[in-house]
Structure 1
Amino acid sequence: MYDTGVMLRSRPWHRWVVAGAVLVGIFYLFPAVTFRPTTSTAIADTRFLTPAPLSNLPFLKELLKDNGLGPEVEFASRHLKYRRNAETRPPLSQIPNKLFPNPPQTINIETVTTLPQLLPPVTLAVENSPRPNEVDASALIFGVSTTYSRFNDDAAGPLREWKRWLTDGNGSSNGAALVLCLHEATDDQILLAQTKLEGVGIRATVQHSDSSLDMPGRYFSLINALYNHPSRETRSYFGLIDDDTFFPSIAALLSMLSEHDPSKPYYIGAFTERVDWMMDHKVPMAYGGAGVFFTAPVVKTLDDLTPTCLKKNPESGLYLEWGDQGDLLLYNCLHNHTEVILTNVPQLHQMDQFGDPSGLYESGELPLSLHHYKSWHRLAPEKVHVVTDACGLNCIFQRFQFADDWVLSNGYTISAFPRGIDFDIMKMEGTFDNGLAKNGVEDVSLSYSFGPLRKNLAGTGRKISWSLLDARSDEYGRVTQVYVKRRDDERWLAKDEPKPRLDSVIVLVWEL
C-alpha cells in the first residue's frame, strides 16, 4: 500500500489535484455558494468604518490666516448627524433642538492647541439622495463654447466647478460627457485643455471652434458637435451650457429630464427671471446660461437646419433668422421651421437678477442650475457643493430652522434672528437690486418668478449671517464647513450700532 502522505509531500502537484477536486465538490454540492471579488471601490470606501478622531484645528488655522481673519475670534461649533430617511426635501425643516444653546467662546487661533469641546450632536433628517460618487449620468452630454484664455484662467476658469458635477468627486467620470469648443486656440492649447480635463476625471472632447463663425454661430454650432459625437447613440439628453453654468444636483437634473421621453422632440429650458426683459424681448425662449436641453430628435432637426439657420444677409451681416445671441438664434430656428416649443422649467436658473443673491440661495429651493456666479454676483459653488459628499446631492441649500431661531441654508449661510422670526419665512427675502425701485415704487421685475418678496433685513439688526468660507470632506464621509462673519461687515448692524470687536467663526461637522 502506498503512503499517501509521503507521496503528497514528495510530489507537490498532487496537492493541486486534491484541492481542485475539493473545490469541484463544493460547487457541485453547494451551487448557491459564490465568490464575490472585493473591488477597489469597496476597499476605498471607509464611510462605514470607525472614523479616526477628527482634528479641524490645522485646517482652521491655515484657512483663517489665509483669509485675514483673527487671530482672536469668536468661535462656535456643532456636529450634525444626518440621517438619510426623510421622504421628501421640504423648503424648510423645523428642528426641535437649539443649534447654539451656549454663547460663543473667544479663542486665539494662533495660540490655541485644542478647539473648545463640542456640544452633543444634533440629528437632521435629509432625503435619501445619491452622493456624487453614486450617480450614473451617462444619459447626458453637454456642449460649451469659450476661449482658451478664459478656460485656463485661475479665477474665471470653470474647472473647479466642473469637477463637482461632471465627476464622482474621486477623480473619475460620472458618465456624463463634455464637448468643449475653444475659440482662438492653438493645437497645443487644445491638447493642454484635454489633458487638464482628463486629469480631473472629466470625460471630455476638446476641439477648435469654427473660426468663420461669430459668437451666436459658435453657440449654434455646438449642436453639430453634439450630433457628431461618437457617443450620441448612447445619450438621451443633449445640453448646451455657458462656462459658468453649474448644476447643484446632477441627480435632480436627471430626475427632471427623465420625465421627458428621449425618443420624442423636446426643447427644455427656462425663461429669464426678469419679467421686464421678457416683455421687452417678446420671445419665449430658453435662456442659455440656465442650461438648454434637447432630445435626440430635436438635435437631428437642428443639425439638418444648420445651413438654413446660419445664413446671413450679405448686406447687413445679420442672421436671416435673427439672433444676436446664440440662444435666441436657436429659438428662432426652431420657431420658424418646426412645431417644437419650449418646455419651461423654472428651477433652471438664468440668474438675471442683480444685487445680493441671498434671497434665492436662502429660500430653501433646490435649484437645478445656477449662472452668473462669477460676474453678476459672487458664489463659490464648488465649496458650497462639498457637503453633498456627506448628506447627498439634494441637501445642498436645504434650509433648517432650529428652536433658537438659527437658520442654516446648507452650504451658503447660517443666520441668527436676534428679535425672533416674526415674518413669513416661506416668502423669499427681497435682497436683489435691479435698480428699478424708485420714488417709493416697488420693483416687480422678479415677482413673476419669485412671487411677492418680503423685506430685505440687511441693515436692520434683525438678521445676522455667517457666510461659508470653505469646506472639506474626509475619507470617512465627514464634511467640515467653516462659516464666517467679519467684524467690519456692516450689513448686519442696525442704524448707529457699533461694529463688533472680533471676527466670528462657526464650524459645522456633518457625519453619519
Structure 2
Amino acid sequence: MGASMATGGSFAPRNSFTRILFLTVFCFVLFIYTFKPSSMEHIEHLRPPQMHPQPNNSYAPERQSDCTLKQSSLMQLQDTYDLGDEIEYARRYVRFHRQDIPRKAITKLDTDLFPRGFDSIDIRNPPPRTTCLKPIDVPVPRSPIPNTVNASELLFGISTTYSRLTDEEISPINEWAHWLTDGNGKSNGAGLILRLIDASKEELEEARHVMASMGMDVKVYPTDSSIEMAKRYLSLLPALYKDSSRPNRKFLVLGDDDTFYPSMHSLLHELSQYDHKKDLYLGTLSEDTNNIARHGSQAFGGAGVFFSLSLAKKVADKFDHCSTNEKIDESDTGWGPKATSSYENAFTRTPRQHSRSCVTSINSTSKVIPRGSTRQASNPYHCTTSKAACGTKRGPDDFIISNGFSIAYYPHGVDFNLHQMEKTFTAAPDDYGWNLDFMLGPQRKNLLWTGRKVAWELMESLVQHDGSVKQIYIRKADDYRWTYGKDGNRMFDKDGVLELIWISS
C-alpha cells in the first residue's frame, strides 16, 4: 500500500518519512505562446485539430482562481489515462509578469507550489471544489511571439509515412504547425517539401489538404520504399533546390519527421550569424561518441541539417555521383553519403558545426529546452502552449517544475546540482560511461527506483477561451520508476493529477 499526499499531511511518500526540511527547487521553463488543442483528432482519416487564436493578454490582472471541479472532465481524464476511481489532485494558477529582465538560469521564489498538499478525490463522487490557492506570481523576460516571425528564408524537407501522420500517438503534424505557422492558422513564410513513402494519390492529397488548412505552406510528393534509405534521404536536397521558391530562400533544411523547433525566432537569430552566401553546412554532431566513431564528423539529421544555397547546388549537381552503390557502401564503413558529398564538394566549410541544441535549462528529468531545435522531446507540442519564460524557479518546497515536461517531487530534498543532467538514459550499443560527456557534460546518478523522486508528466496542454493555458500532469501509481528499489514497493497507491493554469498579469 502506498501512502497519500492528500491535504493535511506532509508530503510523504509511501514509507514512513516524517516531515522533511522544505528546501527545494521549483523550476520551470515557460514561454508564452499559444496555439491549438493538445492533440489531433483522428479516427479513420487525418483531420486538422480545432484552431484556437493566440491568447488575449488583456484580461483582468486580479483574475480570481477557478476552483470548481467538473466530474465530466475528471471522468474524461480517467478514461483517457486509465486512472483509478480515487486520485490525488491539485490545481494551481501561475501568473506571469512580462518584464524587461534578463533570462536567468535559476530564479528563487518564496512560494510553495502545493502548501496544503493534495486533495483526495473520488471521481465517482467528486466534491464541487478543490483547494483554492492564490496564483503564484512569477517575473519572466519578454519574448517574441510566433505571429511576429518571418521564416521565409527557410525551406524544409522531410520524408515520412502516411501511417505516422495518422497515428494519434506519434503524429508530428501539430509540431510541424508550431514551427511552420504563426499560431493563428497562417504560414510564417517557411516552406515544407514533404515526401510520403508508398502513399496513394488519395493519401497525398489528404495530407496536403489537412496541413494547408492548418496554415502550412506545404507540397506533398510520393517516394518509393524500394529506394535505399540513404539515397532517398539525400535526394531531398536536390528536390529542395529545384523547388520554385528556392530563389527566395537562404537555407535548405533536411530533418527527421520528429525534429522540433521550439523557437523560430531563436533559430533565425542563430542562422543570422552566418553568411548565407558562402558554402555552409550547418548542424551538430551526435551527442554519442559511438555514432561519431561509426559515421564520421557529420551533422546528424535529428536536429536538422542546414545547407546554404550555393553548397546545396553543388551537392545537387553531384547527386548522381554521391548516390552510387560505392558511395552508399561508404555509409556502412564510417561515412554517411550525405556528409561525404557535402565535404567533398564544399569549397568553403564552416569552421565548426554549430549545435542549435544549446541548453538553456536543465531539469530533473534530463530533458533539455534547446535554443533552436531538438529531437525526441516528450510531447514537444505541449511544451509550446505556455511559452513565456525560460529558466528555473526555486521555491521553498521540494517540487521542480520543468514546464512542458514534468513536475517532479523530491521527498528527501534537492541535494544535487541542478545544472548537471540526470543520467536517465545510456549510450547504445556500447556504453562506456563517458560517451555523452563531451556534449552533455558528466551526468549525475539517476534517482529512479530510489524512493527519492517521483514525477507527474505533462499529458495535455490547452489554450482556453479566455486565453489562459491549462496543463494536465499525470502520475500513475503503478509507474515502475517510482518505487523503493527496482522490485520494491510503490511510492504511492493512488494515481495523481496536477493541473497548472498559466495566466498573464
Matched, 1:328 2:336: yes
2:208 is paired with a residue whose SS is helix
Among candidates 466, 472, 482, match of residue 472 of structure 2: 482
Among candidates 30, 40, 47, match of residue 57 of structure 2: 47
Segment drifting more, 131-140 vs 317-326: 317-326
* Amino acid corresponding to residue 299 of structure 1 in structure 2: A
Q: In the alignment, what sits opposite 1:360?
A: 366
Among candidates 126, 131, 137, match of residue 123 of structure 1: 137
CA contact (8 A) 2:165 2:172 kept: yes
Structure 2: which 5+ residue stretches go unaligned?
1-52
Among candidates 309, 322, 325, match of residue 309 of structure 1: 322
Q: Could you tell me how far 1:306 is from its partner in structure 2?
A: 2.1
Instruction: Give the Cα separation in 2 of the matches to 1:404 and 1:116.
Output: 20
Among candidates 53, 56, 66, match of residue 80 of structure 2: 66
Matched, 1:89 2:103: yes
Q: Percent identity?
A: 33
* Amino acid corresponding to residue 446 of structure 1 in structure 2: L
CA spacing shift, 1:113–1:493, aligned 2, 3 Å: same
CA spacing shift, 1:68–1:167, aligned 2, 3 Å: same
Instruction: Give the Cα separation in 1 of the matches to 2:152 and 2:304.
Output: 17
Q: In the alignment, what sits opposite 1:376?
A: none
Alignment of 1:82-161 (within 5 A): 82-85=96-99, 87-112=101-126, 114-161=128-175
Instruction: Give the Cα separation in 2 of the matches to 1:176 and 1:56.
Output: 42
Structure with more relative contact order (C-alpha pairs < 8 Å, separation 6 or more): 2
Q: Could you tell me how far 1:114 is from its partner in structure 2?
A: 2.8
Matched, 1:370 2:374: yes
Q: Could you tell me how far 1:178 is from its partner in structure 2?
A: 0.5
> Normalized against structure 2, the TM-score is what?
0.79
* Amino acid corresponding to residue 346 of structure 1 in structure 2: S
Q: Could you tell me how far 1:368 is from its partner in structure 2?
A: 2.9
Q: Could you tell me how far 1:241 is from its partner in structure 2?
A: 0.7
Among candidates 327, 330, 335, match of residue 319 of structure 1: 327
1:191 is paired with a residue whose SS is helix
Q: In the alignment, what sits opposite 2:254?
A: 240
Q: Could you tell me how far 1:132 is from its partner in structure 2?
A: 3.1
Q: Could you tell me how far 1:45 is from its partner in structure 2?
A: 6.0
CA spacing shift, 1:139–1:475, aligned 2, 3 Å: farther
CA contact (8 A) 1:464 1:492 kept: yes
1:492 is paired with a residue whose SS is coil
Q: In the alignment, what sits opposite 1:386?
A: 385
Instruction: Give the Cα separation in 2 of the matches to 1:148 and 1:260.
Output: 36
2:137 is paired with a residue whose SS is strand
After superposition, give the CA deviation of every residue in 1:198-248 in whole Å (9 maximum; x if it has no partner). 122211011233788432222112112211222222222221111121112
Compute the RMSD of aligned alpha carbons: 2.9
Segment drifting more, 117-126 vs 490-499: 490-499
Instruction: Give the Cα separation in 2 of the matches to 1:151 and 1:506.
Output: 30
* Amino acid corresponding to residue 345 of structure 1 in structure 2: H
2:474 is paired with a residue whose SS is strand
Whichever structure has more helix as a proportion of its residues is 1
* Amino acid corresponding to residue 310 of structure 2 in structure 1: P
1:318 is paired with a residue whose SS is helix
CA spacing shift, 1:302–1:175, aligned 2, 3 Å: same
Alignment of 1:218-297 (within 5 A): 218-281=232-295, 283-297=296-310
Structure 1: which 5+ residue stretches go unaligned?
1-42, 350-356, 374-378
* Amino acid corresponding to residue 471 of structure 2 in structure 1: Q
After superposition, give the CA deviation of every residue in 1:484-511 in whole Å (9 maximum; x if it has no partner). 2111124233345554232122111100
> Normalized against structure 1, the TM-score is what?
0.78
Instruction: Give the Cα separation in 2 of the matches to 1:44 and 1:122.
Output: 22
CA contact (8 A) 2:293 2:334 kept: no
Instruction: Give the Cα separation in 2 of the matches to 1:207 and 1:280.
Output: 32
Q: Could you tell me how far 1:328 is from its partner in structure 2?
A: 2.1
CA contact (8 A) 1:286 1:344 kept: yes
Q: In the alignment, what sits opposite 2:410?
A: 417
1:381 is paired with a residue whose SS is coil
CA spacing shift, 1:478–1:338, aligned 2, 3 Å: same
* Count of aligned pairs: 441
CA spacing shift, 1:416–1:152, aligned 2, 3 Å: closer
